[in-house]
């Protein structure tokens, strides 16, 4: 049953699911666990509803097993206020990262299970299939995606929403961003400082 639950959470990405033994990364660049064999490149791919093998709308009961595929990962549960109500958030810090790598924001489902509703990405290890990630620029976004708009985000930061994949890219602020509005043109070299992935 445990194997089935884990498999269900990672089938959203096209890869081979094999029953094997052992753990850690092998010479072929694959990560092996007692349950799955996964191409290492998939672990850091961003998509419309996932960051690596962490998927929006998935339950968190196997979160430690999934995190183990990345090596040593520190998982800290904290509460954040959401519309006046405290909600649990899981902050994941990967090995060798000096600050949090991913933030999994949770909500309670109709079946009283906690599921991931949004994922915050703060590490440049993750990128989209087009190579867009932390440190990429606004010009990179323009060259690869159809931009829906630039909006006022959390902490007053400018957020760029793209049509596909449906993700939000948070930009560093500059003189062009005043009182939550774009003044003039956004410099092409403006960098992405974090990324948000939201479930359907």
Rounded distance between C-alpha atoms, residue 48 and residue 199, angstroms = 8
The structure tokens listed for 103 are: 């933030």
pLDDT digits (tens, 9 = 90+) for 135-148: 999 999 999 999 99
| Judgement on whether residues 136 and 117 belong to the same structural domain of the protein | no
Q: Can you give the residue range of the structural domain that contains 44? A: 2-121
Has this prediction a pTM greater than 0.75?
A: yes
Would the CA dihedral through 25, 26, 31, 35 be positive or negative? negative
Which residue, of 81, 96, 121, is where some domain finishes?
121
| Judgement on whether residues 41 and 92 belong to the same structural domain of the protein | yes
The structure tokens listed for 78 are: 């904290």
| Judgement on whether residues 108 and 90 belong to the same structural domain of the protein | yes
Which residue, of 71, 89, 121, is where some domain finishes?
121
Residue 188 scores a pLDDT above 60: yes
Rounded distance between C-alpha atoms, residue 114 and residue 61, angstroms = 8
Would the CA dihedral through 183, 160, 123, 27 be positive or negative? negative
Total domain count for the chain? 2
Nearest to 140 by CA among 127, 152, 151, 153: 127
Which residue, of 121, 139, 161, is where some domain finishes?
121
| Judgement on whether residues 33 and 87 belong to the same structural domain of the protein | yes
């Amino acid at each position: 049953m445990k194997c089935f639950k884990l498999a269900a959470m990672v089938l959203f990405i096209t890869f081979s699911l094999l029953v094997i033994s052992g753990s850690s990364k092998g010479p072929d660049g694959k990560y092996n666990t007692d349950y799955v064999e996964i191409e290492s490149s998939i672990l850091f791919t961003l998509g419309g509803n996932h960051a690596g093998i962490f998927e929006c709308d998935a339950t968190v009961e196997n979160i430690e097993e999934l995190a183990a595929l990345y090596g040593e990962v520190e998982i800290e549960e904290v509460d954040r206020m959401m519309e006046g109500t405290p909600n649990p958030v899981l902050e994941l810090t990967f090995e060798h990262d000096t600050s949090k790598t991913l933030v999994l924001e949770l909500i309670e489902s109709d079946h009283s299970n906690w599921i991931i509703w949004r994922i915050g990405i703060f590490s440049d290890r993750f990128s989209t299939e087009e190579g867009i990630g932390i440190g990429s620029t606004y010009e990179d976004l323009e060259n690869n995606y159809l931009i829906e708009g630039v909006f006022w985000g959390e902490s007053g930061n400018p957020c760029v929403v793209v049509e596909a994949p449906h993700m939000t890219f948070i930009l560093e602020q500059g003189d062009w961003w005043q009182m939550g509005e774009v003044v003039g043109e956004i410099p092409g070299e403006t960098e992405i400082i974090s990324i948000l992935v939201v479930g359907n």
